Structure 1
Amino acid sequence: MRIVIVEDEAPIREGIAKILQKINPDYELEGTAADGQEGYALICRTKPDLIIMDIEMPKMNGLEMLARLREEGYQCKVLILSAYSDFNYAKQAIELNIENYLLKPIKIPELKKALQQVEDSLVKEQNREKAFSIEGIFLSCLNGQIKPDEQFHSMTRERFGFALEEPAEVFAIWLGDGYEEQKKRAKELLEDVGAHTVKFASYVIEADAWKMLIMILYRLDGSSQYTYFQKSVSPMLCSNLNSPIVLLWRHVDNLLELSTVMEEMQQDREWNLLLGKGFLIRRRDVENIKTVPLKHPTELEDQACQAVKRLDRETVSRCFKALFQYYQEVQHTPEEVKKSLIRFTWSMINAYKEVNEIDVDLQIQGILREISEAISWNQIDASLHKLFDLINEENKKEELPVSVLVQKAQQMIRKYYDQGITLDEIANKLFVSEEYLSAQFKKETGATFSETIRKYRIEKVKELLLNTHLKLNQIAELAGYSDPKYMSRVFKEEVGMLPNEFRKSAH
């Protein structure tokens, strides 16, 4: 809090300055004055938050100084310190909108309490001012947290030249994984668009959770800006920003609809799969698109399934390229395309499982979820590459130069490690002695049976910690541990931190 002291008695003036520092070292003393005339000049120059002043002073008394300041629009807070208890003085002071009237000699607890009240009042006013700003108003609309009355509309008209009940337009740009890297540049471009027009006012909101920038166009001149944004602004953004980029547009009858409209625009983003980069997606245009039912390409799916069984990645890639082309030959809804793609991918995964052991179900589910939520073909392509890399990684595990006996033991470990299978049980199933299997397993893999079991269980725990919100006792059960405390101890030995610490560090 920035403070000016206006007091004609030097000992009192200096004493108050020292007391202020003791009460709160963060108080900033902007200066002191010995009379009303000097105080007036100091206050006009420094514009403090608070004036601490006497009434009876030479040249210009305190009340005359304050009346002049009020006439000129200075609304800073005022504490009066006076030796006079005369009611007329107090009445005039109250009419000049002071915070408090303290009688000399000043008691420090009283002064401290009065200063705290001033601080609290300033904080409330600052919060109100922040809320009643363009940013605060639009964010409240975006969050659906505002219910304005006629007085509120009058205040926004008076201060900002518009009311929330008036029509507006919304332009949004989704930047996907490139959001953090490109949002500053994108915001500068949008603000430059708004700065070079008289047809509308605009404000740009950073919606980090959605990886979007939202540009609200208000104080419209009566005509829609859709064509201008479609023909000029959208191409400019596409040429200055890297993919992925999805552009969206909506008209709103009033800004109170903003929350609902943004939910709908979030859903509209997936039409980018059909319409492509640079197209300004508008709900009414989407509703007029004529689509045809999608016939699932079963023949192409069979080819991909056979190829994945042979681990023929080249043919699988060709199948997916042909699949993408097939989806784009005629217009289908994005929902149908993604459902078909998930079915195609799931069939291919099951075909792979027919000939190979694979224990990455949670990771596969994550990849399929990414496809279902995809907005661009780049996202889908990245998800499929993840899947291919996952299969390749699993395949490399199978290519270790080990005997058929040890291979079968490894397959049984992968299949039953979470069910408490023992070396003795595996040896019985493979018709060999426990000692022989243990020796061969260690010789060919470099790890003992128990070390291998532990490794699989720890990897399972990691996977569940990263990809689920399950509790530790549930994770322990799924990973084959009967005691979650024992699981935590083993996990720390292997990973160097407790499971909950691992989960927090990963997120």
Structure 2
Amino acid sequence: MRIVIVEDEAPIREGIAKILHKINPDYELAGTAADGKEGYELINSTEPDLVIMDIEMPKMDGLKMLGKLRGEGNQCKVLILSAYSDFNYAKQAIELNIENYLLKPIKIPELKRALQQIENALEKEQSRDMAFSVEGIFLACLNGQIKPDAQFHSLTKERYGFTVEEPAEVFVLWLGSGYEEQKKSARELLEDVGDHTVKFASCVIESDVWQMLIMILYRLPREATQYQYFRTSVVPMLCSNLKSPAVCLWRSVDSLLELPKVMEEMLKEREWNLLLEKGSLIRQEDIEAIKTVPLKHPTELEDKACQAAKRGDKEKVIEYFKLLFEYYKKALHTPDEIKKSVIRFSWSVFNAYKETQGIEADLKIQNILQAISEAVSWDQIGSSLKELFEIIDLEIPEEEAMPVSVLVQKAQQQIRKYYDQGITLEEVANKLFVSEEYLSALFKKETGTTFSETIRKYRIEKVKELLLDTHLKLNQIAELAGYSDPKYMSKVFKEEMGMLPNEFRKSVH
């Protein structure tokens, strides 16, 4: 509680300050003033929770000072300490909405009780204000704890310009294991988005339990959605500034009262991140449009992995897990089917290893498999499998076991298709709706090589193929491999192969 003391007698002023600290060390003295005029200026500048004041003071008495403050809308709590017991003083003070009127000399127990009553009143008001704040209203909607009536709608409309029965849009940013580390910066980014637009109002809510930030967009223009803006601008910005995993989801609602059901559905929709490229904005309509095929579990591959586990052939087990993830990439399957297949494969390999090694770790394995069933990102599946491999004594690099993200797969497809046409990182990033910096860093992390090194590799392989299989001249080969200058092609080729193109052609013929 922040307190200002306005008292013309210095010994009393200083004495009250000392007593306040003894009564409660958490009380904060925002300042003191020796007369009403000085007190008026101090109260306006510090905006205290409580003013302890005398009545008879020079320049401006306490009641005039308080009347001026009330006339300007200042409703701070006031405790009057006065030597005057005149009823007219008390009547005027009560009319100015004071909390208490204590006569001097002040008795400490009375002052302590009065301060405690004021503190309790402030806490109740703050709690009520919080509950009726925009965030409080949305939290109540999210928790299904709100049953609005006509008066409630009238109050929210008057105070905030909306009702909970109006349409809204919900943007969810799930941060997973990086939530605690990144929630502050992620919140600042989202609030900055809201601060720099006039198209909608927004409120960002932290959900520690779900490891996500929920941004609710309200007071929306009619017949308009902010989906495209978030998909093409906000999500790429977040992906550029936040570490993986970061899963973004979107939903439009006809009423904020639908939030409990909608959030339950969005939590389930997170797992589609396993199929979609990083930087996607997942929404129900897009999920429904995805054409999946039933996943036929690779039993033959599973049998081979189990046999390898029984023999203790670690390299083969690693190879079969890599083939498993390659198998998943051949067609689109539902996330649930993929996770069930990973669980079945892992459980079989563990049991095969257990038979020969006699290890007991069933409870740990159950926890690992449960974590896979709840996973919404390949990072989570990778972490769970890493734990499994530690139990069965396999040292498998995560980047080898896990498939690259869909985003990197699409970038690789673009390279394979257009490497000979001068494709650039900027062009690919634009096609995939992410920033160059984000794509470059992710590509390097997941493939071990840079974007330009990968293009260079494809071009050199093309040059080698044309040198071996054709009698084309170097300028023709350069053009077909995506080089505008044959001399530059020869220079790059020598750096890679240790010899010039013509020397290479002669060496193999």
TM-score by length of 1: 0.69
Q: Which moved more, 1:255-264 or 1:234-243?
A: 234-243
User: Percent identical across equivalent pairs?
Assistant: 74
- What amino acid sits opposite 1:51 in the alignment? V
1:422-451 deviations in whole A, cap 9, x for unaligned?
xxxxxxxxxxxxxxxxxxxxxxxxxxxxxx
The equivalent residue for 2:291 is 290
The equivalent residue for 1:160 is 160
Instruction: Tell me if the contact between 1:204 and 1:216 (Cα under 8 Å) persists in the aligned partners.
Output: yes
The equivalent residue for 1:244 is 245
- What amino acid sits opposite 2:123 in the alignment? V
The equivalent residue for 2:169 is 169
Q: Which moved more, 1:2-11 or 1:155-164?
A: 2-11
Instruction: Tell me if the contact between 1:274 and 1:328 (Cα under 8 Å) persists in the aligned partners.
Output: no
Work out whether 1:335 is the aligned partner of 2:336. Answer: yes
How far has the Cα of 1:212 moved from its partner?
1.9
Tell me the SS of whatever aligns to 2:251: strand
Instruction: Tell me if the contact between 2:143 and 2:260 (Cα under 8 Å) persists in the aligned partners.
Output: yes
The equivalent residue for 1:190 is 190
The equivalent residue for 1:280 is 281
The equivalent residue for 2:492 is none
How far has the Cα of 1:262 moved from its partner?
1.7
Distance of aligned partners of 1:71 and 1:328 in 2 relative to their CA distance in 1, 3 Å threshold: same
TM-score by length of 2: 0.69
- What amino acid sits opposite 1:334 in the alignment? P
* C-alpha distance in structure 2 between counterparts of 1:188 and 1:171, whole Å: 15
How far has the Cα of 1:224 moved from its partner?
0.9
Tell me the SS of whatever aligns to 1:227: helix
How far has the Cα of 1:71 moved from its partner?
0.7
Q: Which moved more, 1:140-149 or 1:63-72?
A: 140-149
* C-alpha distance in structure 1 between counterparts of 2:357 and 2:25, whole Å: 71
Tell me the SS of whatever aligns to 1:210: coil
How far has the Cα of 1:379 moved from its partner?
2.6
Q: Please, which runs of 5 or more residues in structure 1 have no aligned partner?
A: 395-507
The equivalent residue for 2:373 is 372
The equivalent residue for 2:268 is 267
* C-alpha distance in structure 2 between counterparts of 1:313 and 1:323, whole Å: 15
The equivalent residue for 1:213 is 213
1:390-443 deviations in whole A, cap 9, x for unaligned?
22279xxxxxxxxxxxxxxxxxxxxxxxxxxxxxxxxxxxxxxxxxxxxxxxxx
Distance of aligned partners of 1:107 and 1:261 in 2 relative to their CA distance in 1, 3 Å threshold: same
* C-alpha distance in structure 2 between counterparts of 1:191 and 1:36, whole Å: 41
Distance of aligned partners of 1:387 and 1:29 in 2 relative to their CA distance in 1, 3 Å threshold: closer
How far has the Cα of 1:70 moved from its partner?
0.9
How far has the Cα of 1:249 moved from its partner?
1.0
Tell me the SS of whatever aligns to 1:204: strand
Tell me the SS of whatever aligns to 2:323: helix
Distance of aligned partners of 1:392 and 1:171 in 2 relative to their CA distance in 1, 3 Å threshold: same
The equivalent residue for 1:138 is 138
* C-alpha distance in structure 2 between counterparts of 1:125 and 1:347, whole Å: 60
Distance of aligned partners of 1:345 and 1:25 in 2 relative to their CA distance in 1, 3 Å threshold: closer
Q: Which moved more, 1:127-136 or 1:166-175?
A: 127-136
Instruction: Tell me if the contact between 2:63 and 2:93 (Cα under 8 Å) persists in the aligned partners.
Output: yes
1:314-359 deviations in whole A, cap 9, x for unaligned?
3323322332232232232222222222222222333334433222
- What amino acid sits opposite 1:283 in the alignment? Q
Instruction: Tell me if the contact between 1:169 and 1:250 (Cα under 8 Å) persists in the aligned partners.
Output: yes
Instruction: Tell me if the contact between 1:339 and 1:372 (Cα under 8 Å) persists in the aligned partners.
Output: yes
1:169-192 deviations in whole A, cap 9, x for unaligned?
111122233333443443343333
- What amino acid sits opposite 1:174 in the alignment? W
The equivalent residue for 1:228 is 229
* C-alpha distance in structure 2 between counterparts of 1:38 and 1:299, whole Å: 88
Instruction: Tell me if the contact between 2:314 and 2:394 (Cα under 8 Å) persists in the aligned partners.
Output: no
Work out whether 1:43 is the aligned partner of 2:26. Answer: no
1:203-223 deviations in whole A, cap 9, x for unaligned?
333323322222222221231
Distance of aligned partners of 1:154 and 1:354 in 2 relative to their CA distance in 1, 3 Å threshold: same
1:104-123 deviations in whole A, cap 9, x for unaligned?
44444333322221222222
The equivalent residue for 1:53 is 53
Q: Please, which runs of 5 or more residues in structure 2 have no aligned partner?
A: 396-509
Equivalent pairs counted in the alignment come to 394
How far has the Cα of 1:11 moved from its partner?
6.2
How far has the Cα of 1:16 moved from its partner?
4.5
* C-alpha distance in structure 2 between counterparts of 1:172 and 1:307, whole Å: 43
Tell me the SS of whatever aligns to 2:237: helix
Distance of aligned partners of 1:15 and 1:363 in 2 relative to their CA distance in 1, 3 Å threshold: closer
The equivalent residue for 1:317 is 318
The equivalent residue for 2:465 is none
* C-alpha distance in structure 2 between counterparts of 1:297 and 1:146, whole Å: 49
The equivalent residue for 2:307 is 306
* C-alpha distance in structure 2 between counterparts of 1:311 and 1:365, whole Å: 22
Tell me the SS of whatever aligns to 1:275: coil
Q: Which moved more, 1:103-112 or 1:253-262?
A: 103-112
Select the structure with the greater relative contact order (CA < 8 A; seq sep ≥ 6). Answer: 2
Instruction: Tell me if the contact between 2:354 and 2:360 (Cα under 8 Å) persists in the aligned partners.
Output: no
